[in-house]
Chains A and B, each alone.
Chain A
């Protein structure tokens, strides 16, 4: 997974979001040890202080914990990860609904379309197999 950093929002916030996503999607496994701040900063092409700030925020969120001598680890608490996942899903859905509202799409219309698209995907699968 590549780091993608937009130019108009605070960098540490974007790092928090992307590390969170890596944790939720399992790219960083529960209990896994993270690389050092410097290595992560170099990988993302950002300042180590910025990476440090992002990791501090993730610690505050409970997704990452620091062990004084041996470094930083991903939480093993699945409940915290599950909650982060739900939080992110709610965010994405709210953004989606907001966009649909702008397009003038009502609830039923959206649901109908979603079903249609899902069916279309299934049919595609049949053709492939």
Chain B
């Protein structure tokens, strides 16, 4: 069962090609690491899947449809930058999400806030960068989505919160849902990944399961990445 597939997916910004002829099939019930050096096209891919960018050529299908209103209701997207208004309180943003997304689970969000010692009455602008990131991830993971697109979800948070967040990711998604995580902190996430996709300069370099990589290369994904993308 496929949740996301692409055919010759290509995106150019003027003369610059960000993604070139990507062919992929992502099954349900998997956690996928989207890995690549800076500027390889990871965020472009995620933004296209989230419906924020339109492909230049080729196609992308999510649960049978191209990105649009219907897919946005089943895709939970964590952007690399905050888009929330920072004068808002966490409790107000939660009300916002509850209003906006039918699959939002308020109780889940409140429990996670409690676990991470975040006061729902605090305004975003009074929070550190890491805490803001935690709030955003809580909002995104509190939806019962079919597909989660997480663009650099753990970049700014401390190691203890990182463990909590990774645990949240493996325990919170439904069995038929999939999670795509783009990151360069590979060593931190590889224990929870099923599959990995390496992209380099907009092209698909490798798509494989984590166990397959360890079996055939006797190397961690992190080790293989360092070898493939050696500067």
Contact = CB atoms under 8 A, between A and B. Distances in A.
A48 interface: yes
B163 A8 contact: no
Contacts of B219: 8
Contacts of B167: 42, 45
B171 A38 contact: yes
B170 A47 contact: yes
B103 interface: no
Contacts of A12: 211
Interface in B75-116: none
Interface in A23-56: 38, 41-42, 45-50, 53
A5 B170 CA distance: 17
Nearest to A5: B191
A7 interface: yes
Chain B interface size, under 10 / 10 to 19 / 20 to 34 / 35 or more: 20 to 34
A11 B166 CA distance: 16
A8 B226 CA distance: 14
Listed from nearest, the 9 A-B pairs whose CB atoms lie closest are A7-B220, A10-B211, A10-B214, A47-B192, A46-B191, A8-B220, A49-B194, A42-B171, A10-B215
Given A5-B191, A7-B222, A41-B171, 20 more contacts: A8-B218, A8-B220, A8-B223, A9-B214, A9-B218, A10-B214, A10-B215, A11-B210, A11-B211, A11-B214, A12-B211, A41-B170, A42-B171, A45-B167, A46-B191, A47-B31, A47-B194, A49-B31, A49-B194, A50-B211
